[in-house]
Amino acid sequence: MEFFKILFKNKKIAIKLGKNDFRNRFANTSLGAIWGFIQPFIFMITYVIVFQYILKSNSSGEYPYVVWFLPGMSMWMFCSEAILTASNSIRNYSYLVKKVVFPVDLIPVISLTSASFIGLFLILIAVIVSSLFGFMPNFFNVIYILFCAICFIIAITRLTSALTTIVPDFAQLLSILIQLCMWFTPIVWNLGFISSSKLVNTFKCMPFTYLVEGFRQAFMDNSNIITENNGIFTLVFWIVTIIIFIWGNRVFNKTKKDFADVL
């Protein structure tokens, strides 16, 4: 497809501009890009303190709460940050659309690359902390879920970046939807709280649940959402991702000719 040809041809440009984008976010601060790592790290640790030591939550079952919580939260923060920044990327890079001959399809990938620096840092923290508690991750599963996350983010932001550019109000709606998705995804609560097996399976068919639970279970040797129920949740995830990509790609290609006029 045309998108993948553009991405492969300009991959070095995307990585370079992604690095610059990440640095430029904090260019006016004395600590610079360090703030990009400090802020989400403190956010994650605050959740651990509140839920484990203040509320004394036991959502993790037989596992230490920090081992159960950090992988899921790090994956969620990576996905949500990447989706929101990539969705607003074309408006943020309007000068590339209006004044420069530049492959517009590449712009959301630039923001995804930028968000990946923080996301990979948080994932590394989750791996290190879990390892200190004696839970070494299955690195095959970690790499697979990261690949799934990147594919899903690219698929959904093909749609959301186009809609946000054409209809600016969609950015506000998307922000609300992401907040709702956070609470409907088992990040701070456990699927074991739900008594209905049908409802549990419904949640597991949702892409965000698949990514969060898949990454979390990479640290737990007695469960694996990837192969659970003969891999039905994996099949559903990829079907949903492909459908979203096809839909988003069609919308993006139809609307990108109008980007310069609305910016």
Confirm if 63 and 220 have CB atoms less than 8 A apart.
Answer: yes
The answer for residues whose C-beta is within 8 angstroms of residue 211's C-beta and 6 or more apart is: 75, 79, 145, 148, 149, 152
Tokens standing for residue 227: 């192969």
Contact 129, 66 (CB under 8 A): yes
pLDDT tens, N- to C-terminus, the chain (263 residues): 678 787 788 888 888 888 887 777 766 666 666 777 778 888 878 877 777 777 666 655 677 788 888 889 899 999 999 999 999 999 888 888 876 678 888 889 988 988 888 888 888 888 888 888 888 888 888 899 999 999 999 999 999 999 999 998 999 999 999 999 999 999 888 887 888 888 988 899 999 999 999 999 888 766 688 888 878 999 999 999 999 999 999 999 999 888 887 87
Distances (CA, A) of 188 to 47, 178, 213: 9, 15, 11
